[in-house]
């Protein structure tokens, strides 16, 4: 500060001053700034006082005005960004207190002479509010100071008030920065949450679509199995129906001949007797084959119902699996493979027959399509027996083929949907996944695979009864 400064006419006691400063620091920011600025105005014994916000160290804006006319404020604000200087603009460059004792004679105030003359402003002081890191927070401008001398106590109070202002404004700046940071973080969190929600919706939609595709493929697998059964039924029905049709044709021929001779009165007793024997034989053939066709249809109907109704019923397992193999005859007859059932003929169980049949169907088809090379003659063995697991009666089924086996890495992925060792264009990779779901999820059992390269494969199924 200049050697020629100022003094106050009335100075509050030191105790009151300390109380006022302390009360200001304990209050909210707005009241604290106003109280400290008022104390500065009283300490400086000035007519007007303005607290300026500094902006990027090149311009100012009004933070607090104590009695200063708008005309002067507007005139000083108009100097922002210009070459002209005035207090507080000059403080922005060197961060030091400046005091102008005769404004009308100062060249830097030429742009403001007309306004200062109208307001009878003679002098001005500008005090920088600076942090310990030498960061300029604000500038205090006081106009028309009464005295130009200052005591040590007044200077000390000025320093205390500027320091207090710095603390309050710095805290406010930190608070604003923290508030801005929190707002920015809140926006970022909201955006991230929105992205997460959108990603979640996309994922849920993708999972839903995947499940729907998987369900459709499973339905296609079931439809394929049904088509295989229909093909087998048609093939098996050809034999008894063909035999019955042939017998009926012969019976018709015998009847026509007998009728003609009867009309001509030339029918002999021996011929009538022979016709009776031939008719009896033909009718026996027709009845036997029609019953066989009826049995085939009944077995086919039961297989279809088992797959779709999934209800428990008592079955003779050996007989039931024989019917399952019969339904696969169109698939097996094009190969050289043999399927052997090593199952006690009297093994009867109450179970979900359709699910067990479907599992073994998939295992057989999997072996036929993937376990053997072209024209290779393979052997598939199915064993079954009653057992107990944790004192609970269970059905133990062992499925074995002597094919080329698999690597262990394939076994770990075997039950995953869409996994296949075959050409992806010819296989949807759902067969073993369906087997796993049927055994583990529906039948509440277990399925284990033991295999090695060129060592065939062995599946062990344990199903609670």
Q: What percent of the chain clears pLDDT 90, i.e. is strictly above it?
A: 20
pLDDT, one tens digit per residue, over 446-458 is 999 998 888 899 9
* CATH number, position 119: 3.30.450.40
* C-alpha span between 137 and 398 (Å, rounded): 85
Q: Determine, yes or no, domain membership for 225.
A: no
Three-state SS letters, 244-264:
HHHHHHHHHHHHHHHHHHHHC
Peptide bond into 370 cis (omega under 30): no
Q: Is residue 9 part of a domain?
A: no
Please report the pLDDT score of residue 302 as a whole number.
62
Task: Give how far the C-alpha of residue 360 lies from the chain's centroid of Cα atoms, to the nearest Å.
Answer: 36
DSSP 441: I
Handedness of CA 162, 163, 166, 168 (dihedral sign): negative
Residue 444: phi, psi to the nearest 5? 60, 35
pLDDT value at residue 88: 81
Confidence of residue 223 (pLDDT cuts 50, 70, 90): low
Say how far apart CA 259 and CA 254 lie, in whole Å: 8
Of 83-87, 322-326, 380-384, 420-424, the range with the highest mean pLDDT is 380-384
460 lies in some domain: yes
DSSP 312: -
Q: Where are the beta strands (DSSP E) in 67-155?
A: 98-100, 124-130, 136-145
DSSP string across 396-431? EEEEEE-S----HHHHHTTTSTT--SS-TTT--S-H
Contact present, 127 and 140 (Cβ < 8 Å): yes
Name the strand (E) or helix (H) holding 295.
helix 269-309
Domain finish residue from 127, 150, 173: 150
The secondary structure of 193-253 as a DSSP string is: HHHHHHHHHHHHHHHHHHHHHHHHHHHHHHHHHHHHHHHHHHHHHHHHHHHHHHHHHHHHH
pLDDT tens sequence across 244-253: 788 788 778 8
Residue 9 has pLDDT above 50, yes or no: no
The verdict on residue 256 lying in a domain is no
Structure-block tokens of residue 424: 């992806």
DSSP secondary structure code for residue 189 in this structure = H
CB of 48 closer than 8 Å to CB of 124: no
- What sign does the CA torsion over 398, 399, 405, 411 have? negative
Give pLDDT, residue 214: 64
**Are the C-beta atoms of residues 85 and 59 closer than 8 Å to each other?**
no
Q: What is the pTM of this model?
A: 0.47
**SS3 category, 349:** strand
Q: Assess if residue 379 is contained within a domain.
A: yes
Over residues 279-294, the pLDDT tens digits come to: 888 788 888 778 777 7
Residue 184 has pLDDT above 50, yes or no: yes
| Residue 236 burial class via C-beta count within 10 angstroms: exposed 0-12, middle 13-18, buried 19 and up | buried
What's the CATH code of the domain at 450?
A: 3.30.565.10
Expressed as residue numbers, the domain containing 355 is 310-464
Q: Which residue has the tokens 């990603």?
A: 199
Q: What is the DSSP letter of 120?
A: T
Contact 27, 19 (CB under 8 A): no
136 C-beta neighbours (distance < 10 Å), count: 15
Considering its fold, how many domains does the chain have in total? 2
Exposed e or buried b per residue across 310-346, where buried means at least 16 C-beta atoms within 10 angstroms of its C-beta: eeeeebebbebbebbbbbbebbbeebebebebebeee
pLDDT digits (tens, 9 = 90+) for 64-79: 999 999 988 998 888 8
Q: Give domain status of residue 381, yes or no.
A: yes
Of 150, 169, 194, which one is at a domain's C-terminal end? 150
- Inter-residue contact 4 to 97 (CB < 8 Å): no
How far is Cα 368 from Cα 401, in angstroms, rounded to an integer? 9
Q: What is the pLDDT of residue 2?
A: 39
Kindly report, residue by residue over 322-378, the tens digit of the pLDDT: 888 887 877 788 888 999 999 999 999 998 888 888 889 889 988 988 888 888 889
Q: Which of 87, 122, 150 is at the close of a domain? A: 150
Instruction: Report the SS3 class of residue 449.
Output: strand
Are the C-beta atoms of 461 and 397 separated by less than 8 Å?
Answer: yes
Asked if residues 221 and 434 have their Cβ atoms less than 8 Å apart, the reply is: yes
Per-residue pLDDT tens digits for 416-432: 776 776 654 445 566 78
258, 259, 264, 265 alpha-carbon torsion, rounded to 10°: 70
Does any domain span residue 315? Answer: yes
- pLDDT of the residue at 201: 87
Which of the residue ranges 10-24, 172-186, 451-465 would you say has the lowest mean pLDDT?
A: 10-24
Could you give the CA distance from residue 67 to residue 48 in angstroms, rounded to a whole number? 5
In-domain check, residue 258: no
Could you tell me the pLDDT band of residue 6, with boundaries at 50, 70 and 90?
Answer: very low
The residues pairing with 163 across neighbouring beta strands, listed in sequence order, are: none
**Contact predicate 293/266, CB 8 Å:** no
Sign of CA dihedral 186, 190, 193, 195: negative
User: What does DSSP assign to residue 314?
Assistant: E
Q: Which residues contact 95 (CB under 8 A, 6 or more apart)?
A: 128, 130, 134, 136
106 pLDDT exceeds 80? Answer: yes
- pLDDT score at 381: 94
């Amino acid at each position: 500060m200049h050697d020629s400064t100022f003094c106050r006419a009335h100075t509050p006691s030191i105790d009151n001053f300390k109380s006022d400063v302390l009360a200001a620091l304990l209050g909210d920011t707005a009241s604290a700034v106003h109280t400290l600025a008022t104390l500065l105005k009283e300490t400086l014994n000035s007519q007007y006082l303005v607290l300026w916000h500094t902006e990027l160290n090149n311009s100012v804006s009004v933070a607090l005005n104590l009695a200063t006319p708008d005309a002067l404020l507007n005139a000083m604000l108009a100097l922002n960004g210009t070459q002209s200087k005035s207090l507080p603009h000059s403080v922005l460059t060197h961060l030091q207190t400046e005091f102008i004792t005769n404004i009308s004679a100062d060249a830097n105030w030429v742009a403001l002479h007309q306004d200062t003359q109208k307001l009878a402003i003679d002098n001005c002081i500008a005090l920088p509010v600076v942090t310990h890191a030498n960061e300029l927070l604000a500038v205090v401008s006081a106009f028309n100071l009464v005295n130009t001398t200052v005591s040590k106590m007044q200077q000390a109070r000025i320093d205390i008030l500027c320091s207090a202002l710095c603390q309050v404004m710095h805290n406010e700046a930190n608070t604003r920065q923290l508030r801005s940071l929190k707002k920015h973080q809140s926006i970022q969190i909201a955006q991230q949450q929105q992205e997460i929600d959108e990603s979640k919706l996309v994922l849920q939609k993708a999972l839903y679509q995947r499940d729907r595709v998987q369900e459709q493929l499973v339905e296609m697998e079931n439809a394929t199995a049904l088509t295989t059964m229909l093909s087998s039924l048609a093939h098996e029905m050809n034999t008894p129906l063909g035999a019955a049709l042939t017998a009926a044709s012969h019976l018709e021929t015998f009847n026509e001949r007998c009728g003609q001779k009867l009309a001509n009165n030339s029918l002999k007793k021996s011929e009538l007797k022979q016709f009776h024997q031939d008719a009896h034989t033909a009718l026996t053939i027709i009845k036997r084959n029609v019953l066989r066709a009826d049995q085939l249809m009944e077995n086919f109907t039961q297989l279809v119902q088992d797959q779709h109704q999934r209800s428990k019923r008592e079955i003779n397992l050996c007989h039931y699996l024989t019917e399952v193999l019969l339904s696969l005859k169109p698939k097996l007859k094009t190969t050289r493979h043999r399927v052997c059932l090593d199952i006690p003929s009297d093994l009867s169980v109450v179970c979900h027959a359709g699910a067990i049949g479907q599992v073994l169907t998939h295992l057989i088809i999997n072996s036929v399509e993937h376990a053997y090379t072209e024209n290779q003659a393979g052997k598939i063995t199915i064993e079954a027996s009653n057992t107990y697991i944790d004192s609970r009666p269970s059905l133990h089924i062992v499925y074995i083929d002597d094919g080329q086996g698999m690597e262990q890495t394939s076994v770990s992925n075997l039950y995953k949907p869409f996994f296949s060792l075959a050409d992806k264009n010819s296989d949807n990779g759902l067969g073993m996944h369906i087997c796993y779901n049927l055994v583990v999820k529906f039948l509440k059992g277990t399925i284990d695979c033991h295999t090695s390269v060129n060592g065939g494969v062995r599946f062990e199924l344990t199903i609670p009864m």
